[in-house]
Amino acid sequence: MMQFYQKRDFGTFISDTFTFFKENGKNYFKNYIMINGILLILMVVIFVFGYRELFSQMMGSNIQGQNYYFQAYFQENSVVLTLVSAIMFILFLMVMMISYSYPILYMKRLTETGNKNIKADEILSDLKNNSGRFIKFFLGLVFIVMPLAVILFGISAMLIIIVIGFFLLILMGPIIMNVVNFLMFDYFNTKKGFFESLSYAVRAQFSYKNGRDKSPFWKYWGSTTVMYLLIQTITSVFAIIPLMIISGAMVTIPQKGPQNIMEGSMGILFFSIYGVSILISFLMINVIFVNSGLQYYDSRTDLHRNLDLSEIDTIGTNEI
């Protein structure tokens, strides 16, 4: 079984992320789909049938002298669109709550029990027990972390005029992603408060707690960047397919405008594939979380020694 609380280098973060899914992927995704699958599918179905007509009007309105303008459509269907948007927002929050907390709670249970046959009921119990902390975390993320991130990105964007801003933007994305993920792992793996975990998440990017080892900054940044680019490449393939379908239809059927192409089976196909791309994105984001989890366990040098001592004690017991 993979050892979680140990020092890793850049290459090991990448390889151990895939090793994790090789060893636990079947159980991991089975539980994930059982817990989050219905919400994901429901969200995609509502998106496909709730917004299909809206996007059809957006693509086809105000061109070629059409009388059916997007503004008129929105006014006539404002109640339905508002209801659909409200349902989508609630579903999105529920999906995000599970998607963000599931990898953390799964890895926490795996590291604590060593049981590779984790049940969905166990994760649901953990989700229920941590629901209050998640609400606090969500509020802190929205009203504290996000505004700070926006300010940092804004400063970096303004500095583009002197070139350095471009490099700051490249650095800033993975750093903020790592800080948020470390914050989540520390907040749910310990009994710390939000600000204490946030402080640890920031400090852990630049130095180990023992103060002796060299800074882990570049291996954390590099690992997150590589995994993010890999995931973006895979998800982009699915996102491009709907655009290729519409572009191909407009070339082969030039007499039809975008609005007509989006109607009927072609529109359903377009949004269905786009919906599948959303599902793939939610599944692939788990790779980032697992990679961040391994980074977090790398940073917890205080537990490395405890683990080593417990293994030594076990060896001694076996010899007796």
**Residue 203 within a domain:** no
3-state secondary structure of 232: helix
Other beta carbons less than 10 A from residue 30's beta carbon: 14
> Taking a C-beta distance cutoff of 8 angstroms, is the pair 290, 59 a contact?
no
- The pLDDT assigned to 86 comes to 84
**Domain containing 255: what range?**
10-130+217-319
Task: Please enumerate in sequence order all residues whose Cβ is within 8 A of that of 10, keeping only pairs 6 or more positions apart, or say none.
Answer: 218, 219, 222, 223
Q: For the chain, how many structural domains are there in total?
A: 1
Residue 101, classified by CB atoms within 10 Å of its CB into exposed (0-12), middle (13-18) or buried (19+), is buried
pLDDT in tens, 102-134: 999 999 999 998 888 999 999 999 999 998 898
Residue 117, classified by CB atoms within 10 Å of its CB into exposed (0-12), middle (13-18) or buried (19+), is exposed
pLDDT in tens, 21-80: 999 999 999 999 999 888 888 887 777 676 666 666 555 554 454 545 556 666 666 777
Q: Does the pLDDT at position 176 exceed 80? A: yes
Comparing 256 with 133, the larger pLDDT belongs to 133
- The pLDDT assigned to 244 comes to 73
Task: Please enumerate in sequence order all residues whose Cβ is within 8 A of that of 284, keeping only pairs 6 or more positions apart, or say none.
Answer: 231, 234, 235
Q: Does the pLDDT at position 314 exceed 50? A: no
Q: Does the pLDDT at position 146 exceed 70? A: yes
**Residue 43 within a domain:** yes
**Residue 1 within a domain:** no
**Residue 174 within a domain:** no
Least confidently predicted of 2-11, 113-122, 230-239: 230-239
Mean pLDDT of 263-268: 60
| pLDDT, mean over the chain | 81
Comparing 48 with 173, the larger pLDDT belongs to 173
**Residue 152 within a domain:** no
**Residue 116 within a domain:** yes
**Residue 209 within a domain:** no
**Residue 308 within a domain:** yes
- The pLDDT assigned to 62 comes to 47
- The pLDDT assigned to 249 comes to 60
Q: Distance between CA atoms of 298 and 315, rounded to whole angstroms?
A: 23
Comparing 211 with 159, the larger pLDDT belongs to 159
- The pLDDT assigned to 143 comes to 93
Mean pLDDT of 80-86: 79
Q: pTM here?
A: 0.82
